[in-house]
Amino acid sequence: MKYPISVELVEKSRISEVDFSNLVFGRNISDHMFVADYIDGEWTDCRIVPFGPMLMSPAIMALHYGQAIFEGMKANKDAKTGVPLLFRPEMHIERINRSAVRMAMQPIPDEIFMNALNYLLDIDRAWIPESEGSALYIRPHMFAIDATLGVKASDNYRFVIMTSPVGPYYPKPIRLLVSEKYVRAFPGGVGFAKAAGNYGATLAPAAQAKEKGFDQILWLDGIEFKYLQECGTMNIMCVIGDTVVTPNLTDTILAGITRDSILHLIRDIGLKIEERPISIHEVIEANKSGELKEMFGTGTAAVLSHVSEFSYKDEIYTLPPLEGRKVGPMIKKVLEDYKKGIQPDKFNWLIPVKKTILITSHK
């Protein structure tokens, strides 16, 4: 192994403190985390340690110049064997490294990423919830650690993976406010990357939307304020007539792995798909004519979140009730069953976590 991993286990697990029947997204962090440092031109000191605070300088460049990226993944247990299953981890490696390159950061070797996931999920497999709609959320992230105030790319980085048992992100259909002022991303920017600053910039508009009674923002493009981009932190899809329509990927839209998976599943069952620019005016006209059958967001955290209403220029547009929808509920069920090994793995998306033989110390 080019990048050996040392392991230090907690003396006592905190799992008994968690109410698995009432999981609030991101609130409970599992016992252990993976840490690796990029120092002097090489990845080093790969380690599993008890989750806890890190000692860092307030001058680290991530805090000042925004060199910070992350990923979001999930793991479930095989419904038959109980073995933890990773879902399309290679796509997450590719995406975090695309983000790293865009942010002038150091890409992470595949071996480090995959071995870290395997060790971490094997050690904390008891934290994977098994109730419907729940999963173990996995948060890989990397940030600049040079302690200097010069505006440049950092030379050194820290890569961390932590996990958290979670329930459904949105337990009910959501209401969207179409943004007429704020923009999530511009061409030539970092909208396609999972850069921390992308999300920080959305918090104030999202808070304003919630003050008006909405759950999230439906983002439009920054040039014409016309074309759908994303909703909240999710990709957006509409069912118009018998066709699933979703914005084509550009440098302003995140290449969602859930998006890609859902498009694969939709094609597999023979439904029509169009990946193209879609304007808010087209969506409104389809709603008025009765052709807008469904609208939903897709993402790792939320999986698939149905949209009940959206507001544009102070007018509310209501979508058909959930009970009459055919595509979204079916696809969500198929995808969730797939992740638990209930559906045949025809696309080779699942990677079982292997048992690891560990030389450990206890803290």
pLDDT digits (tens, 9 = 90+) for 1-34: 899 999 999 999 999 999 999 999 989 999 999 9
pLDDT at 356: 80
Residue whose structure tokens are 């290449």: 255
Q: Rounded to two decimals, what is the model's pTM? A: 0.95
Which one-letter amino acid corresponds to residue 29? I
CB 69 within 8 A of CB 197: no
**Cα 307 to the chain's mean position, in Å?**
19
- DSSP structure class, residue 227: B
Query: Does residue 363 surpass a pLDDT of 80?
Result: no
| Share above pLDDT 90 across residues of the chain, in percent, rounded to a whole number | 94
Where are the domain boundaries for CATH 3.30.470.10 in the chain? 5-167+349-362
Query: Does residue 144 surpass a pLDDT of 70?
Result: yes
- What DSSP string runs through 281-302? HHHHHHHHHT-EEEEEEEETTT
Mean pLDDT confidence for 231-241: 97
pLDDT band at 240 (very low <50, low <70, confident <90, very high): very high
pLDDT digits (tens, 9 = 90+) for 349-358: 999 999 886 5
- 5-167+349-362 CATH fold: D-amino Acid Aminotransferase; Chain A, domain 1 (3.30.470)
pLDDT at 322: 94
Q: What is the mean pLDDT of the chain?
A: 96
Where are the domain boundaries for CATH 3.20.10.10 in the chain? 174-325
Q: Which CATH architecture has domain 174-325?
A: Alpha-Beta Barrel (3.20)
Element (H, E) at 290: none
3-state secondary structure of 208: helix
- What DSSP string runs through 331-357? HHHHHHHHHTT-S--TT--EEEPPP--
What distance in Å separates the CA atoms of residue 289 and residue 4, rounded to the nearest whole number?
Answer: 60
- DSSP structure class, residue 252: T
Mean pLDDT confidence for 111-138: 96
